[in-house]
Structure 1
């Protein structure tokens, strides 16, 4: 164990929530355990920890049972469950199975709500499951008439609204491959992504609203269209303007005109192989052109069904709000909840406009049961000193999900003290690479401050230490040592799997290395300390950046921070940049306060040598701060591709800082 860690072995952090016996007994985990015990007479699982061990010992039985328990269509998956098990990158799941992803999300046709949409401008839109089915039917026919077929790429420059989901389901129902980015991406970032895919169809929104301001995208769409010669059709969805002028966009048509000739009828779903490509998602692209990661329909569906029904306890009739954009994999994750009978509660716009409680107002007004968001959002509520427990009822809310970055113990405790006491707070972590989670929630287990509840079922997660062997109660690399269904089927334009191999299997032979710096406790919970490629190493001591952020950002004067290492003299020193709360200067007293807190709450090694103020911190489109880019700037290294950043102009605040020039 790192001798400078502030965590004592076997010490229990603060217990924040304990599920009632009734909650446990009514959970889908217990139902699944009973199903397993009944299906396999020699099996006698008692609790979720037993289930996890069984899922790792018998992965073929586990994943085939998930298929049956969650009601995947068709019921029959063939004889082969897992082939080439001994080599992860070559493993193949359910070789004999055929399915249609869209069919599984549209299997219930009834009058219950499938989608409820709220825009920042208060535009509301509700679709029943019957409405959704009919809309997909009409759109599918129109896409087929336009020449879209199996294997074609359809790309979307769209907000988080019903049209996007309808178009995705229609496209994937015919076996086309879907890829999406949110409308806040600039044209260069879009071209770097979509331009690699030679898409046949582009769907785009004419404009959107964010933080009270409307943005017209027609000029960007025109530029993008003219630089992707493979496009045969550009379909324009209307969100802020019902009658946009689109004559400057080649081969363009309004969505309503595109589908108006077609009547809804029963959809004939053609079923494709389990590994048929479904989505292409993108790496952040901060080190070059974004990698295009291809995910299969079957693996995506199975993983999401497992995570929704077991880890999130999502059931038919639940209402799921995940605050996300179409440029983040959580959009893909969220949409799959239709297959579990949940209602998708969509929101598009700023979560803080016109007030900081906009999303919690939505939870109350629409009786939302599961609310997913980012750690940064919850921290922002805490920093604003909001106490929703005093202003909102939140009676329907049973679960809060948090991801995107590590959730600090202080923010864990804020949720229970100031939002709602009786609630499951599930910090979850995985990534675009697997379109799912390695570590997740568990409604049958307690919640401890600062800890993720468990390793996800069916995911053979280990922490690999510096000696290359598994460790417990020590920090190391998050690794996975067995195949799982939602591994990428391949990278686009990577014929020999060289990029794929290099991305996950370069460090350890036949062991997926995810790039997160993590600790597994002896109780099976997990703590993530940040990305392993941004781990600080002063004096040879490895420190995860999240260890610094959780202490620094607990101070009310500081909004957020970014810590990087400056290399010289055969060592590294920690440089901390802080963004202050509004109108608060960075004084010597505050600098000393930061240093004392880090020394007392973490260790002397965590104390930065220099603390500087910055008005802005660079982040990706999905909201993750980019330590590596800032480190490259202050070390004089190549910064790489900045077009993928939400705010590339912020980098100027880290260049040519005189305080950093004397270190050599």
Structure 2
């Protein structure tokens, strides 16, 4: 095993000198400031910090005369009196510079400069306006990760209309659950998509979605005359400047249980947050080639689009991460000269298990990991095969469309440890009494507002659902739903969702450390651990495993699993039963469905416990019914 906290990478004096956050510190009049000093100022003086972000990046718009921040959570208001537009800021890059590189499984490639992208956005903007789309109207998209999705999003934003997207692997019911909440005026879709070498016809699904949306005035299908007509007329770029908190897009909670929450982010909050995060934590700017493996149904697509705000070229990939082989994404990065490579933690673990050795990545300056905790072995593998390339593990979520905790070029990388709390994010770990603790596992909370927190949930009069989602446990304090341990130096470790945490004999245990041991066994492809205990009543600890090709769950393997869990973690980690299943249920973005499976084990019907349309493999749920 790799020791948690083992030092893997340290920034050289040259890396620190050239880092964009170092230039920012000098601009602030704080040359030589270390990261902890900058972070502490950013959370102690949020008005100064976020005001400096607007000024440093010369945000296009009218900052207005109002205060930077008024009020506290959940009613904080930012930059009152200001006006700006996300698309205007995203499209201000040098017209001759690359803006978009698009690839698919077949290797087909398209590119757009900033000038060409702005021209396409202007065309689609004019087409949407002809359909009657105006400020505040919703445009929904059922699209893969292609230039058309990015163009349509920017065109929507440029009008002051509101964007919302799902990827075409979502089922009709799941899409309808989302889009009927926001009543879009226009639906932009595809008739089909290719994944893992197979074509999937979605024309019937598109028809079903359109029929279920009241108030829809048009359905536009990319690759047909309706799309050609939408973008038929040349037009000059134009941007409707809107108030700071005006809705930019609606994204959704995972929708694994109940109706997905329609989370609304504002133009201003996203512009400032993504400028800060991408510049100072990912260290991105002009000349960079930014890739993150995602679909339009995951908030990382929205984050990837933010690369335009800092002048980078964004790489849009449509397809499977492992087709035609497990190294597909690494080869893509080599061929396109990617400088920052982002993916989900499961892909890094899969690459490690496949013993890949990525090559041809001479331009690569950083790797990002998110979606679930990455075990220390994943950190160590990456730094073995890509020596000198720092790994940035980030944790945040759809709720804020960014990371609360992550990496920064000024700090070293240690196995299994996230280096810092991000600028402007006052993250703390609360014990059961709501007291901040250091060096102990507790609830991840945010105790001061951030501008990218939701401006509201759609159709939530009085904000009741919004407040219940984040502020019910600690009034005025955002509870995120993750377990976190903050270390004395400000770094931290994420242990998974707090609502799926194991509780054995009064000791709380995160699921990520459990998976780290189990999934090291080569016979095991994937795993899920569930504690069936209820409040005041200890239940059973069940370990479900899906086997690697050719593997089988033998008594000897069960014995070795239990011995490893006992020896490497504790006797409390030894499961009551180890059960084989054909697959571990995951969302379309790759997250394990721990909470829904627990509900199924406690008697909730499968159809009520999880939304099949939001899952990558809903067929496996039946194997968890007791």
Q: TM-score w.r.t. structure 1 length?
A: 0.92
Could you tell me how far 1:640 is from its partner in structure 2?
Answer: 2.6
Query: Which residue is equivalent to 2:21?
Result: 29
Distance 2:179 2:598 in 1: 29
1:247-283: CA deviation from partner (whole Å, max 9, x where unpaired): xxxxxx52112221x1132x23221100000010111
Q: 1:254 aligns with which of 217, 226, 230?
A: 226
Distance 2:286 2:211 in 1: 44
Whether contact under 8 Å (2:97, 2:114) holds in the other structure is yes
Return structure 1 stretches of 4+ with deviation > 6 angstroms. none
Q: 2:328 aligns with which of 358, 370, 383?
A: 358
Mark the CA change 1:383 to 1:44 in structure 2 (over 3 Å): closer, same or farther: closer
In the alignment, is residue 464 of structure 1 matched against residue 449 of structure 2? no
Q: Supply the RMSD in Å over aligned alpha carbons.
A: 1.6
Distance 2:571 2:533 in 1: 19
Query: Which residue is equivalent to 2:206?
Result: 221
Distance 2:207 2:360 in 1: 46
Query: Which residue is equivalent to 2:558?
Result: 591
Could you tell me how far 1:573 is from its partner in structure 2?
Answer: 2.3
1:545-580: CA deviation from partner (whole Å, max 9, x where unpaired): 111001111122211110001237921221000111
Report matched runs for 1:117-156 at 5 Å: 117-156=102-141
1:136-156: CA deviation from partner (whole Å, max 9, x where unpaired): 111111111110000000000
Query: Which residue is equivalent to 1:299?
Result: 269
Distance 1:442 1:475 in 2: 23
Distance 1:414 1:381 in 2: 9
Distance 2:602 2:66 in 1: 55
Structure 2 residue runs without a partner (length 5+): none
Distance 2:64 2:353 in 1: 50
Could you tell me how far 1:74 is from its partner in structure 2?
Answer: 2.6
Query: Which residue is equivalent to 1:20?
Result: 12
Query: Which residue is equivalent to 1:263?
Result: 234
Q: 1:374 aligns with which of 344, 348, 353?
A: 344
Query: Which residue is equivalent to 1:67?
Result: 54
Q: 1:491 aligns with which of 452, 457, 464?
A: 457
Could you tell me how far 1:47 is from its partner in structure 2?
Answer: 1.2
Whether contact under 8 Å (2:185, 2:215) holds in the other structure is yes
Whether contact under 8 Å (1:289, 1:641) holds in the other structure is no
Report matched runs for 1:9-408 at 5 Å: 13-37=5-29, 46-74=33-61, 76-84=63-71, 87-238=72-223, 254-260=226-232, 262-265=233-236, 267-388=237-358, 392-408=359-375
Distance 2:289 2:478 in 1: 34
SS state of the match for residue 540, structure 2? strand
Could you tell me how far 1:542 is from its partner in structure 2?
Answer: 0.6
SS state of the match for residue 560, structure 1? strand
Whether contact under 8 Å (2:565, 2:573) holds in the other structure is yes
Structure 1 residue runs without a partner (length 5+): 1-5, 38-42, 244-252, 657-664
Could you tell me how far 1:393 is from its partner in structure 2?
Answer: 2.3
Q: TM-score w.r.t. structure 2 length?
A: 0.97
Whether contact under 8 Å (2:406, 2:418) holds in the other structure is yes
SS state of the match for residue 572, structure 1? coil
Could you tell me how far 1:77 is from its partner in structure 2?
Answer: 4.3
Whether contact under 8 Å (1:109, 1:133) holds in the other structure is no
Paired residues, what number?
622
Could you tell me how far 1:462 is from its partner in structure 2?
Answer: 0.4
